[in-house]
A and B are shown apart, each in its own frame.
Chain A
Amino acid sequence: MSTLEADVRARVRSFLEENFLYMRPDFVLSDDDRLLERGVVDSMGVVEILNFLEDEFGVKTADDEISEANLGTLNAIGAFVASKS
């Protein structure tokens, strides 16, 4: 697993904590937790993650890349961003 992936996961985690988990300090989010299923984000939250990835990492996401496989967990997001870099 690359340093970039770890960095992406950490920054996305921080983004999620600031924007979606700020009132849930006891919420434990693991790298493999499914973000939608656990109620961390909804579909609009996914769009906010896309905006964040573009602003932070310059990642442009194609329509057919907006999937659980690429954006469903912190691990998936780390791998997805790394694959685009």
Chain B
Amino acid sequence: MTYNHTSTAPSLVIDPATAVDRIIESLRSNLLNEFRRKGYVVGMSSGVDSSVTAALAVRAVGPSHVFGVFMPERESDPDSLRIARELAAQLGIESTTEDIADTLEGAGCYQRRNDAIRRVVPEFRDDWGCKLVLPSDRLSADRLNVTYLVVREPGGEDRRVRLPAAEYRQIVAASNFKQRVRKMMEYYHADRLHFAVLGTPNRLEYDQGFFVKGGDGLADIKPIAHLYKSQVYQIADYLGVPSSVTSRPPTTDTFSLPQSQEEFYYNLPTRILDVVLHGLNTGRSAADVALEAGLTPEQVERSFRDIEQKRMTTRYLHLGPRLVEPVDLCTMIQVDL
């Protein structure tokens, strides 16, 4: 299955050369002046975001100062590891594979998730597939977003069950071990090499809180967080990221059944949501955005509301640790200098 990313909406067309130059400058200056580290570690999933981030880092600081980490687990798509390795070889960077399945097993990731699933589907077995999905017609009516569990017996058909809050939260909390263990491993290599860690969210993910706090949300710099997904694809093409990466449909790669991002989190395909989010951010009317996005004005209004709702719900994810009183670090910094 391939993914067609080539039809960029007019409002989202960028000059990739200018965008890349700006990112490169930021990656260089932050590494030298802020982090004072020797290079960048990047977790490579084979998705377009981490692939572009790795390619940008190579442009910024050179291949010998970029280290790639592949972190498959029991439920990862095997193609992901192969594609990520090919890209690392193409970029000429050092890399390593860290299979995190045993760590996840030790933390109880799979067990805790499956225990929660069995509270709603008692016959669920560990070798069944599962994923979380939202209703499919969320823009066609005033539907509220409640999450469903989909399970599949080997060779069987999908079964769909509405999830109570406690079970949903436990499934998500257990699954979040995956992103957090991956980030822990990235920081291990960063500490070992005296490198900093790259974050890979695009603007949709960053804006809408589609990340795990302390997991993929944790990084020293997020070089593509200001770019809409279709702009990331433009940069991918400009940098020569291979089609094995850019033709794959965006996926969460978190659950054992294939799961698209819009199934689980967004209310539209990312290509269209890009246009809607950009329209909201630039103050365009719903009618105007609807023309470009191929939606009705009512659907755009609903999507605007969904975007605002997600911003409100996920605000906590963006917050750093709060302090009771400001703590002045000037003295410490002077000593350090």
A46 contacts B309, C-beta separation under 8 Å: no
B313 contacts A63, C-beta separation under 8 Å: no
- At the interface, yes or no: B169 with Cβ under 8 Å from chain A? yes
B residues near A28, Cβ cutoff 8 Å: none
B164 contacts A47, C-beta separation under 8 Å: yes
A67 contacts B163, C-beta separation under 8 Å: no
**CB contact list, B300-316 vs A, under 8 A:** 305, 309, 312-313
A66 contacts B168, C-beta separation under 8 Å: no
> A44-B169, A47-B165 are contacts. A66–B146 as well, Cβ < 8 Å?
yes
What bracket does the count of chain A residues touching chain B fall in? 10 to 19
> A36-B309, A39-B312 are contacts. A44–B144 as well, Cβ < 8 Å?
no
A74 to chain B minimum Cβ distance, whole angstroms, is 15
**CB contact list, A1-15 vs B, under 8 A:** none
Neighbour of A42 across the interface among B143, B162, B163, B313, CB < 8 A = B313
Number of interface residues of B (CB under 8 A): 18
A80 to chain B minimum Cβ distance, whole angstroms, is 12
A43 contacts B313, C-beta separation under 8 Å: yes
> A36-B309, A42-B309, A43-B313 are contacts. A71–B165 as well, Cβ < 8 Å?
no
B residues near A47, Cβ cutoff 8 Å: 146-147, 163-165, 168
A residues near B147, Cβ cutoff 8 Å: 43, 47
Q: Convert A25-63 into 0s and 1s, putting 1 for each residue whose CB lies closer than 8 angstroms to a CB of B.
A: 000000000001101001110111011000000000001
B residues with a Cβ closer than 8 A to A are 135, 141-147, 162-165, 168-169, 305, 309, 312-313
